[in-house]
Structures are given as structure tokens and as C-alpha cells.
Chains A and B, each alone.
Chain A
């Protein structure tokens, strides 16, 4: 037990390896939230009137929610009060130049990516990954745009898409997550800065894994990303999102919205690795991550799959969900959530079965170490018309140390007799017998724990696209293997 105690201490002591600040000139909005700020952001981005109006409607709705104190409090999280007026809602790196090649990208920014272990220069050579690098709020590099253009694929920042494809943005923005959806979605809709916009035309299989790195950099700025992905009939796209933020003393708010739409026979695979700064050992600092992610299987036989590896953030509030509207559509959710130190995670998924023969699968693996609190919260809802729908849910929790907590809160709501729903969950620690067995075969206790934990998360990690596994493995190694040897 002595060794495992040491390991636990190691988890707690594990330093955040990606903490640094890049010096880039910022052009920021003054702190505060008001209609003027929203108009300023909208004007800054040269948005059409309908979008400005939409933002303002969202802001009014948000103010109403604030007034009614509708800030969601049902999650198993202790959220310190957040001063919304102290946040700057827009931060952009230097005014954008016309960037044709990577040479034109700010050297400081390139250095940041190098520190992240994923230099853009290398990216071009690496396995055909197109990187839409979002540095704070504005897209600064867009590497594979030309090759995607050939297939008619639109992969750009939302700001660009608003200019170039206003009809698509107008049609789909807010169609899955309306601004009235929840508190944080309303705030995002009012002040969203930028994000990715993806449109895959009918019948096209996107030749690249699309990837974006979100970074929070400007001190005191929250980040409000908005991502919209549309897969038209018969198309396929795999989208990768990875996060890493510099070390900060004050808490930073992140309220992103991701909307996915899959039409007939289309498939979207959305993978996330989130490794934001979780705060120090006393729980000071760290990112507050309030995310609304939702996909709509609008068409027949469409499929949306979420995969997430959550190893960072002081607070994670995130429920990637799927609306299974089209008949025969499929929703999947694979998740690894790690909490250590004083991190709190309340995450899970929602599967809304509306169409006939819809099926969903949920695999969630939670790991709690130190004083971390890890909650799985999931909803499986089967409507009266969702004949022959199926769900399988498996969520397991692993406990490391006696100070942490693991909670499982599934909701199952079924209104149909022909559907079948299964939920099972277990919570245990790494058993001494398992460690002993491995030791018998010559593994050190540290290696044994590592093997057991790697086995525990394998079901989820192997769902990640191979190209992404470089980054994923590195982050997991830092967080998990640092935790257990």
C-alpha cells in the first residue's frame, strides 16, 4: 500500500506541463457584457444584420436567465460565483494578415504549437491531418483548405463561413442548440467569437481527419467557441478537437457550443481531447468548462459518434448528446474522464430516441484520484414512436485513493414497449488481487497499476482516430501514467 500511496501523491503533485504564456499583442474588448459589447463583437467581425439580431436575442434571453437565477445548479459541482462582467468577451491576435503559407504565421504562435508537441510544420507531413488552428479566438492558419476545396468541402472558421456561405450558416446555426437551450448556450450564442464550420457535400467522404486546436491564451478572456458541422446525405467526416491551455492563477470560463447535423446516411465522428489547466493542488485557478455539445441525426440511417478524453479543467460540465430523429439512426458516446487534485467533472451524454429502429451505445469510464469528484450523468430517452429502439449503457468508475468520489446518475425514460434499454455500472478500486497477479508475472506494482488502468480505458481510447492517438497518448501518459507509475 505504501507504493500506491506514493503514486497517489504523484498524481496530486503532477505539474501541468503545458503552462506558459505566449506574448502576442491582443486586440481585446473591454471587460463586461452588454448589448453594446455584443454589437461591437458583431461589427468587428463584419456580420450581417440577422446574425447581430440573433446574438442580441440570445443576450436578452441570457439576461433573463441571470435574473431568474437559472444558472444550472443540479450538477454535482461546486462552482464558485463567476463575475460575468469581469470577463473580456473578445480577444484576437494581431490583425490578420493574408496567410498563404505557414511562414507568415507569427513565430510566437508557432513556438506555442511546438511546445504542445504538435508543430504545424510537422503536421503537414504527418498523415494528412488538416489543422485549423484556433489561437484564442481567431483562426490564424488553415493548412489543408486547398485540398479540401477540391472535394467541395467547406472547412473554415465560422466568421469566414458567415461571409462566404451565409445561407448555410443561417440555416444551421442554432438549429440543434437554440440560444434558448440553456444558460451557457445562451451566453455563447450572444458572444461567440469564432469556431469551425464544416460542410461535407452529399456523397463525399472527407479524405482528411479534420482537426482544430483550441487554446485559451489571452489573460482574463473567456473563450466562446461555436462549432457547426453538417454532413450532407451519404457523406462522412471525422473531426478532432484537442485542447490545452496555459497555466493561470485566476479561473477562466469556457462556454463552447458544438452543433452537428447528419442528414440521410451520413456519419459524423467527433473526437475530443481536453487537457486544460486544472488548477493547482489547492484548487486555485483552472478552467471552468461549460460546454453544450449536441448532434442531430436528422436523416435516415445517419450516425453520430462522440469520443472524449477529458483529463483537464477544474470544472467540467459537459453532456455531448445525440437526437436520434431519423429512422435507423445510430448514436454513440465513448468517454474517459479523469479527475485528480481538486478537479470536478459532471459529464455524460443524452440520447433522445425519436425515430424508429434507432440505437445508441454509451461507454463511459471515470477515474477519480486525489480529491477529484467524478460524476457520470446520462439520459436515455425513448419516445413513444421510437419503435424497436435499443440502448446499451456501460459506465465504470475506478477509484484511486480514499479522498475522491465517483458518482453515477443515469436517467432512463422509456415510453415504448418494443424498445430495449440496458444500463449497467460498476465502481471499484484497482484491486490488490489484480496487482498481485501482475506482480507474480514480474511486473512492478507501478507497471501493474498502469497496465490495469490502460486496460480500463482501452475500450474508449481505441475509438480515437489513429492520427490523433499521438496527442491522445501523450496526454494520457502525462495524466494517467504519472498518476500510477
Chain B
């Protein structure tokens, strides 16, 4: 009953557990280095080697006492599972209608089992630049393209921004070591991109595949753009897959970026993702993360408000059912004065699912006149479900306004009764109340077309 974990709290407290779990990835890396990655630029080869060395040294994180970051999430089932990299052979026919955004124009990149699907993607705007051989001027134009191509063509942008914010966590290291493809998005200074940029990562579930999608977003000065990242499983009775995604975002002065994530992987899928954002002067990031599915889900979202006036809005919704485990870690780092953050994460847990929310807000000594608000609300709808919520404030400045809150409860019986008395059945009343509960998060999506798409996704899930 000691309750508190002992041991190191914040150090890289990952301990090697079982050699064989890591060695599988090490031998996979050796093969990858020989075949897939041999024509990479030298800086990337070095980075990959450092990353795999990091992974070898730290190993998979353990949920043992003392490891605060992985206290509530046990990744042993994932570590014990043997996944293979997909060979990238032609994918089957995919009925894309289910994933189509309801808007006429969209920049769309689709990856199936980690490999680019040209037939499902729109022609990247960077293609024309490719053809015109204007690589030197590339930075002047919008880029929504494959990361692999950008790497191959030695685009300076990639070397400049790639892996600059990602720490040495086990999974991010693994992603860096195996980085192959994903998206590079560059919004030039002063450009407003009106069409949503849609990145879709589909797992077919035909075999036990591990993918390491990587996305790099650079929003130029005073630019404006909307990005939606989807993670989907093609079939529900799929073989377990492992998606290990890393997204890096840099916004420059005055940039506004809407970043939405919709995760609907199979019930036995492992989804580990980390998103790292650095927000520039007077720039704003609006992030909405919707975790509607997946077996073992762990998201790390780290936002650094690096320059004065930077602000971020973080919204999240996680739905747990069955035996699922959804873990959201967010970290907002108020690094500069006059920064603000506003975070609302909501969870609905049924069945024997388990939800975890750990939200850390740090205000550094220099970050005076900071405003930080954080709220985590959870609805537990069954006795087998569990929620662990840990909102944290770490404040080193004094001229601040910071609040956080966490609630756990069930549906308000009085509210249900009220609706009953107006003629709604108990089931209808419950549904209405749950829809009301989630609408605060959903309304954070300002783009109408995307809103319609995500609303549909959430409502079908809740029915």
C-alpha cells in the first residue's frame, strides 16, 4: 500500500527487460540498413545508428515501480510480439469511400502498411516542382510530399528540422532508426492553404506488420494551414499490427496551424505515437486528438511554447471499450513570457477498458505572464473500467494564472431523469448526454468538412 512509486521519476528510467524482445528489432535493423536504407544521406545513416543504439541501451519501457512515464501502461504484450516490416508489395484494392473527406479539394497522402499508395493520393503540389527541377527554390513553394523523396533528393529542409525535438524515448528512437517514409509538409511564409492536408495511414491487417510513419511539418511565418492525420485499420478482425508514429511540428512567427488526429485502428492493434511541436512567436497551434479505437494506445503530445506570445489549444477525446487501453500523455512547456495554453481532454470508458491521462504543464522561470488551463473529464460507464488521471502543474514563475482540474463520474442520474420526464427513453437520454459531453471537444474542430467527418466517426462509435 505504499502507493508512491519509488526510484527515479524523470530520468530516462527505461530498463532493459528481456534481451530477445529488443534483439528482434536489432536484427531487423541490420537487414534494413543493408537493403532499404543504404542509399540514405550520411547524416541520416548516423542518426539511425544512434537511434538504434539508444533503443538497444534503453530497451522497451517497463511499467515497474519508479518509471513514472510508463506507470500505468504495460507494453510487455507489445514487446513480446514479433512483427515484421511490410515488403511493400502491391496492396489490395481499398474501398476509399469510407475514408474520404467530404470536401472537393484536399491534399491527400495515403500510406498502406507504411508504403506510399500513389493511386489513392492526390498529386502532391511538390510534384510539379520535382519535374521543373527547381529543387533550389523548393522552399518557396508549398510542399506536401513524401518524406522519402525529400530525403532522397537531399532537401536541406529535412536535415535542418528532422529529429530536432524528439528525445530518446524507446519508441521514438525505434521510429528514427527505421524511418523510411511519411510526409513532409512545408507551408511557405505568408501562405494560407485553404484545402485540408490529409495524411492517412492504413493498416491492412493481413499480416503482423510494424510501421514507423514519420511526419515533419514546418509552418512558415504568418502561414495558415489545416492538417488531419488519420490512422485506420482496414478490417476489424485483423492480425495485430503495430503503428509507431512520430510527428514533428515547427511553427514560425505568426503561423496558425490546426492539427487533427483521428485514430481508429483495430481492437487488437498497438498504436504508439508521439507528437512534438515547437511554437514560435505569436503563433498558434490547435490540436485535436480523437482516439476512438485501437487495442493498446499510447500518445505522447509535447508542445513547447518557445517564443513570446505563442499559444496552444489542446483538445482530446478517448473512448475505451472492451479490453482496450488508451493512454494520453501531454506535456506543455511554457518556455517564454506571455504564452498561453488551454487543454481539455475527455474520456468515456466502458467494458473493462482502461483510460490514462497524464497532463503536465510546466512554467519556466522566464515565462512570466503565462496563462495555463487544463481540464480532464472522465465518464466511467462500467464497473470493470478504470481511469487513472494525473494532471500536473510545475510552476517556476510567479506572474501566472494556472489552473487544472480532473473529474471522474458517471452520467448524472438527475439529468437522465429530467430527459425521461420530457419523454425521452433512458437510452436516448443517455446518448444525448454523452453527445453533449463529447461536443465540447468536437467543436474545437473549426473546419466544417473535417468537423462533419469526425462528428460522423465519433457518433457512429457512440451509438
> Footprint of B on A, CB under 8 Å?
70, 72-74, 76, 181-183, 319, 321, 323, 350, 352, 377, 379, 381-382, 384, 397, 399-429
Residue of B nearest to A391 (CB): B408
Query: Do residues B6 and A74 form an inter-chain contact, with CB atoms below 8 A?
Result: yes
Cβ-defined contact, A427 with B402, below 8 A: yes
A409 to B359 Cα, complex, angstroms? 10
| B382, B384, B386 interface centre (most CB from chain A within 10 Å) | B386
Minimum CB distance partner of A398 in chain B: B398
* Chain A residues in 8 Å Cβ range of B401: 426-428
Question: Nearest chain-A residue to B8 (Cβ)?
Answer: A73
Option from B386, B390, B394 in Cβ contact (under 8 Å) with A410 = B390
Question: Could you list 27 A-B pairs, sorted by A, with CB under 8 Å?
Answer: A72-B4, A74-B4, A74-B8, A352-B1, A384-B383, A401-B398, A402-B365, A402-B368, A404-B398, A405-B394, A405-B395, A406-B393, A407-B392, A409-B390, A414-B408, A415-B386, A417-B383, A417-B385, A422-B405, A423-B405, A423-B406, A423-B407, A424-B405, A424-B406, A426-B401, A428-B400, A428-B402
B408 in contact with A381 (CB, 8 Å): no
A-B CB proximity, top 6 nearest: A399-B398, A412-B389, A421-B408, A74-B9, A408-B393, A424-B405
B397 within 8 A of A: yes
Interface residues of B in 1-31 (CB under 8 A from A): 1-9
B380 contacts A by Cβ under 8 Å: yes
Q: B387, A412: Cβ atoms under 8 Å?
A: yes
A411 to B1: give the CA distance in the assembly, Å: 15
Nearest CB in chain B: distance from A37 CB, A: 25
Query: B416-446: which residues lie under 8 A (CB-CB) from chain A?
Result: none
Most buried by A among B4, B5, B408: B408
Whether B410 sits at the interface, judged by CB under 8 Å, is: yes
Nearest chain B CB to A321 CB, angstrom units: 7
- CB neighbours (8 Å) of A421 from chain B are 406-409
Cα A448 to Cα B6 in complex, Å, equals 42
Most buried by A among B368, B382, B407: B407
The size bracket of the interface on B is 35 or more
Check B380–A416 contact: CB distance below 8 A: yes
B residues 91-147 near A (Cβ < 8 Å) are: none
Asked if B78 lies at the interface with its beta carbon under 8 angstroms from chain A, I say no
A421 to B3, CA, bound (A): 18
B residues less than 8 Å from A74 (CB atoms): 4-9, 66, 68
A402 touches B399 (CB 8 A): yes
In this complex, what residue of B is CB-closest to A400? Answer: B398
Would A424 and B404 be within 8 Å (CB), given that A379-B3, A381-B3 are in contact? yes
Check: B230 CB closer than 8 A to any chain A CB.
no
Known: A410-B391, A412-B408, A422-B405. 9 other contacts (CB 8 A): A400-B398, A405-B394, A413-B387, A414-B386, A415-B386, A416-B380, A420-B409, A427-B400, A427-B403
Most buried by B among A417, A419, A429: A417
Contact A413 B386 (CB under 8 A): yes
Which residue of chain A has its CB nearest to the CB of B405? A424
| A-side contacts of B8, CB under 8 Å | 73-74
Interface residues of B in 359-378 (CB under 8 A from A): 365, 368, 378
- CB–CB A422/B4 < 8 A: no
Contacts of B406 in A (CB 8 A): 410, 412, 421-424
Contact yes or no, B1 A379, CB < 8 A: no
- Residues of A contacting B398 with CB < 8 Å? 399-402, 404, 429
Contacts of A424 in B (CB 8 A): 403-406
Decide if B381 is an interface residue (CB 8 Å cutoff): yes
Residue on A with the closest CB to B398? A399
The yes or no answer to B396 lying at the interface (CB within 8 A) is yes
B389 near A70: Cβ-Cβ < 8 Å: no
Tell me, in angstroms, the Cα distance from A179 to B2 when the chains sit together: 11
CA distance A184 to B79 in the complex (A): 35
Q: Is there an interface contact between A409 and B407, defined as CB atoms closer than 8 Å?
A: no
CB-based contact A414/B380 at 8 Å: yes
Q: Which residues of B contact A (CB under 8 A)?
A: 1-9, 66, 68, 365, 368, 378, 380-410
Q: How long is the Cα–Cα vector from A401 to B402 in the complex, in angstroms?
A: 16
Chain B residues contacting A410 (CB-CB under 8 Å) are: 390-392, 406
Contacts of A377 in B (CB 8 A): 4
Give chain B residues whose Cβ lies under 8 Å from the Cβ of A420: 407-410
Does the CB pair A379–B4 fall under 8 Å? yes
Closest to B362 in A: A407
Given contacts A74-B6, A74-B68, A352-B1, contact A407 B393 (CB under 8 A): yes
Kindly list chain B residues whose C-beta atoms are within 8 Å of the C-beta of A73. 6-9
Chain B proximity of A58: nearest CB distance (Å) = 15
The answer to whether B394 and A350 touch across the interface, beta carbons within 8 angstroms, is no
CA distance A72 to B5 in the complex (A): 8
Please report the C-alpha to C-alpha distance between residue A404 and residue B386 in the assembled complex, in whole angstroms.
36
Distance, CA A417 to CA B387, complexed state (A)? 10
Q: Which of A321, A397, A411 contacts B390 (CB 8 A)?
A: A411
- A411 in contact with B405 (CB, 8 Å): no
- Give A425 to B391 CA distance when docked, in angstroms: 9
Which residues of chain B are within 8 angstroms of A418 by Cβ–Cβ distance? 383, 410
Contacts of A402 in B (CB 8 A): 365, 368, 397-399
Minimum CB distance partner of A292 in chain B? B2
- Nearest residue in A to B372 (C-beta to C-beta)? A427
Q: A407-B393, A409-B390 are in contact. Are A419 and B66 (CB under 8 A)?
A: no
A402 to B364, CA, bound (A): 10
Please report the C-alpha to C-alpha distance between residue A417 and residue B385 in the assembled complex, in whole angstroms: 7
Q: Find B392's partner among A321, A379, A409, A415 (CB 8 Å cutoff).
A: A409
**Which residue of chain B has the shortest Cβ distance to A421 in the bound complex?**
B408
Q: Specify which chain A residues have a CB less than 8 angstroms from the CB of B409 in the assembled complex.
A: 419-421
Q: Residue on B with the closest CB to A180?
A: B2
B337 to chain A, nearest CB (A): 12
**B10 CB to nearest chain A CB (Å):** 9
Closest Cβ of chain B to A431, distance in Å, is 9
Instruction: Provide the bound-state CA to CA distance between A401 and B400, in Å.
Output: 12
Contact B388 A411 (CB under 8 A): yes
Question: A74-B6, A414-B380 known; A407 and B405 CB under 8 Å?
Answer: no
Q: CB distance A425 to B393 under 8 Å?
A: yes
User: Distance in Å from the Cβ of A410 to the closest Cβ of chain B?
Assistant: 6
Q: Collect the chain B residues with CB atoms within 8 Å of residue A408's CB.
A: 391-393, 404
Residues of A close to B404: CB separation below 8 A: 408, 423-425
User: Which residues of the other chain, B, contact A319 by a CB distance below 8 angstroms?
Assistant: 4
**Structural contact, A419 and B388, CB atoms closer than 8 A:** no
Cα of A408 to Cα of B400 in the assembled complex, Å: 14
CB distance from A141 to the nearest CB of B (A): 36
* Cα separation A134 to B85 with both chains bound (whole Å): 69
Name the CB-closest residue of A to B382.
Answer: A417
Output the nearest chain A residue to B355 by Cβ-Cβ distance: A414
| Residues of A close to B399: CB separation below 8 A | 402, 429
Measured between C-beta atoms, what is the minimum distance from B319 to chain A in Å?
15
When distances are taken between beta carbons in the complex, the residues of chain B under 8 Å from A404 are 398
Q: Are A417 and B381 in contact (CB under 8 A)?
A: yes
* Chain B residues with CB below 8 A from A425, complex form: 391, 393, 403-405
A-side contacts of B403, CB under 8 Å: 424-427
By a CB distance below 8 angstroms, the chain B residues around A423 are 389, 391, 404-407
Give, as a whole number of angstroms, the nearest-CB distance from A233 to chain B.
24
Give the complex CA separation of A243 and B150 in angstroms: 67
B386 partner residues in chain A, CB cutoff 8 A: 413-415
Q: CB-CB < 8 A to A416: which residues of B? A: 380, 383
In the complex, A415→B7 CA distance in Å?
Answer: 25
Contact of B394 among A321, A407, A419 (CB under 8 A): A407
Shortest beta-carbon distance from A12 to chain B in Å: 15
CB-CB under 8 A for A399 and B400, given A379-B4, A412-B406, A420-B409: yes
A429 contacts B400, CB within 8 Å? yes
Contacts of B382 in A (CB 8 A): 417
CA of A427 to CA of B109 in the docked complex: distance in angstroms? Answer: 44
